[in-house]
Structure 1
Amino acid sequence: MRAAEIRNLLVIGVDLIPLVKSAKKAGYNVYCVDFFGDYDLNLIADGVYVVAKPGKDHSLPRLSSEFDPEKFLEGAREVSTRKRIDAILLSSGFDDSPRILEDLSKISEILGNDPETFRKVRNKEFFFRNVENLGLKIPESCVVKEMDEALQAGEKIGYPVIIKPVDGFGGFGVKLVRDSGQMIHFMKDILPGSEMVIQRYVPGIPASVSVISNGREATALTVNEQLIGLKRFGQKKRFGFSGNIVPLEAAECVIEKCKEVAEKVVAFFGLKGSNGVDIVISEDCEPWIIEVNPRFQSTLECVETVLGINLVDTHINSCLTGNLPEEIDHPSCFCTRIILYAPFRSSIPDLRCYSHLRDIPYPGAIIEEGEPLCSIIWSGSNRDSSFLGAEKAADKIIRLLKPAI
C-alpha cells in the first residue's frame, strides 16, 4: 500500500479526538467507531458510529464496566458497508483483543502493528522474559489464575506488590497489596476465573516514552510524565490514569536513558508506527519497563503540540516507507492533558464554548460518579505554568457541575 492510495481512514477505540484531529489535518477523510460519540468528535469527523447509547434519562454508560470490543467490531463492519475504508488506525481498548484485531484486519489493513505482534507483545510472560533477556530493568512478575498461585507469587516477589488484570487498561483494577491478608481480600472475588499479574512494586515517577518505529529501528520522540490517581480531578482509584505532561521535566541523562531503553524494546519486538512504552523511573533514576502500548497513545495531542509535528503523517510514513523522523532534542513548550472524572453523578452544563476542552459531552448528558467527563489541554513555557493552566480550567468545570436528579 502507498500513502497516495489512502483517502478514507477508519479510526477506532477509546480517546479518539486527538487522533481524528491529527488525521484530518493530514488531509484524510475520517470515520470513527467511538464509545461515547462526544460533541467535538462529531464536529470534526466525517462520520461517527457510537457504541454506547445513552439511557432514556440521557445517562451515559459506564466505560469502566460496559466497554465491549465486540461492539466496536460490529460498528466497524457497519461503517464499512457504507464507506470504502482504505486503512484502519487504532486507539486504546484492543491491546489484549487479538481476535478482534484479526477480524478488523479483514475489513481493511491496520496501519501499524498486526494482530500477531499485539499478541506477542501483550503476552505478559513472553514480554517479561524477553525484556529481561535484553538486560533491561523490569519488575519481577508472575501471571496467576488461582489464589494459592497469587499467595505464592506475593511471598516469592516480596510485599508490597502490584496486582492488575492481564487485559486491563487505563489503570482499571490495579491495586497495591501490602501483605497476604490484603492479597486474599482483593483476590477472593477475582480468582479463580481471571488471569492476574502480580508484580514487584517499584516506587518512583510514572512516565511513558512516545516512540516511532518501522519494524527494525525506533526513534523516541518524547519522555512524558504520567499523572496517576489525582483525586482532585475525580479519579478515585490510586493507580487510575489522570493524564500526562509532555515532556517529563528531568535531568538530561535520565531522559536519554529512558529513550534508549524504550527504543531498544520497540525495535526488539519489531513494532511499527506510533508506540508507547510505560516506565517507572526509580528513586535511583533508573527506568524500569512496565509494558508496551502498541498503538496511538493518550499523549498524542501534547506530543504534537510540543514538537510541532503531525503524528498521523509520521505514523503512516514510518509504516509504509520506513522513514523515521529526526529526533528533536528540545521541545518548544510543555503541554498538559488532565482527564476530568465526574466527582458525583453529574448533569453536564453546556461546555461547548471552552476551547481548551476535549471529549465534550452534549449538554444535559448525565455522567456517573467516577466516569470520564472531559479532558483539558493546556500548554505553557514551563511545566508548572502548563499544569496550573489545566488545573484552573478543571476547577472551573467542576464548579459548573450540578448533581443529576
Structure 2
Amino acid sequence: MTSSKPPLIWLNIFIFTSTLLIAVIGAPLYAYFVGFDWTQWAMLLAAFSYCGMSITAGYHRLWSHKAYEANAVMRFIFAVGGAFALQNSILHWSSDHRIHHRHVDNNEKDPYSAKMGFFYSHIGWMLREYQANRYSDYSNCRDLQKDKIVMWQHKYYVPLAVATNFGIPLLFGLWHGDIWGALLLVGIVRLVLSHHTTFFINSLAHIWGSQPYTDKNTARDNGFLALLTFGEGYHNYHHIFEYDYRNGIRWWQFDPTKWLIKSCAWMGMAKNLKVCPEDRIEKAKATMQLQRLQQKLEAVPNSHACLEMLNQEYEILLHKIADYYGAKKRMLELKKNDLLKQYESFEFLQQYREMKYRLEMQRKVWKQLTAQYA
C-alpha cells in the first residue's frame, strides 16, 4: 500500500536536524571544555543581526511587499545577507510569502497555513514537497524578475549560501584564532537562531498574541516576538496593512527594521517609504473593539439599549475621524504648496483645530464606553 503523503525533502531534513543537534549539543560542550570569549559572542550577535535584517528589511518588506525602494548597494547587501540566512533565494522566498498573504489560513493554498498546526507552519511545510510547482512557478513575482540583483542571487544562490555560511565564520575564526569555535558559534548557532526566530512568525505569531486590528485571519501582535525578530512580531497589523514599511507603528514599539529603513532613507539609500493612512488604522482598531463588545453584549439579557448607544458612539467616532483627517490632509497639501496663509483669513486653521479637539473628546468618550462594557 503506497503512502499518499508528498515526498520528503531530504536535504532540508538533513540541514535542519544536523544544525539543531550541533547547536544544542556540540556548542554547549565546546563552551564547557574550551569556552567562548566576548569577541565571539559579539560576532554571533552581528552575524545574527545581519541575517535577520536582510530577511526583514530585504526579503520581506522590500521585495515581498514593495513597502519602499532601495538603491543597488542596499539590495546587494540584503541579497548576500539573505543567502547567509539560508532561507532560499529572494525570488522563491517572496513568491511563497505573497501566496501566504493572498491565501492566509487556507490549508490548500497557504504554504505555511497556521491552521495546519504549530509544527507544520513552523517547519513541517519545508520538509515535504507539498506543492509541486513551488520551485518553478514564479509568475506572482514578475516584478522581481526585472531586478538584476534578485536574479543574480537566484542564479548563484547555492554558491553564495556556501560561501557565506562557511566563509564568513572561517575568516573570522582565522582572524580570531579559534576556527572551530567560530564555525560552531557564528556558523551553526547563528544559523539555527536565524532559522527558528524567522519561523516563529509563521507559527507563534499566528497563535500567540492579540488581534487589535482584524480577526479575519490568525495573525497576532506580540511584542516579545518582535524582540526576537527585529520588529516582525506586530503581525496582526502587518496582515491588514501589509504594504506599510513599519510593523511596529508606535514610537515605543521595538521595530529596528523600521528604524533601519528610515535611517537609510535619510542617507538617500531608500525612498518612497509607504505608510498606511492614520485614519484607516484608527478605524480598524475601533471596528475591532466594536465587534468584540457587540459579541459580549449580545449574550447579556436586556442589552439592547447598551448596544444602540455603542453603535451610535462608534458612528460618531468614524464621522469625526473622517472630518479631522480630511482637514489634516488638506492642510498638509496647502503647506506643501505654500498656500496655507491664503486660507487663514477663511478661518481654515481654526476649523482644523476645532475638528481635532472634537475628535480628541470623542476618543475619550469611546475609551470610557469601551472600558465600561469590556
Pairwise TM-score range, normalised by the shorter structure: under 0.3
Q: Which has the larger radius of gyration?
A: 2
- TM-score, structure 2 as length reference: 0.24
TM-score, scaled relative to structure 1: 0.23
Higher helix share: 2
Choose between structure 1 and 2: higher strand proportion: 1
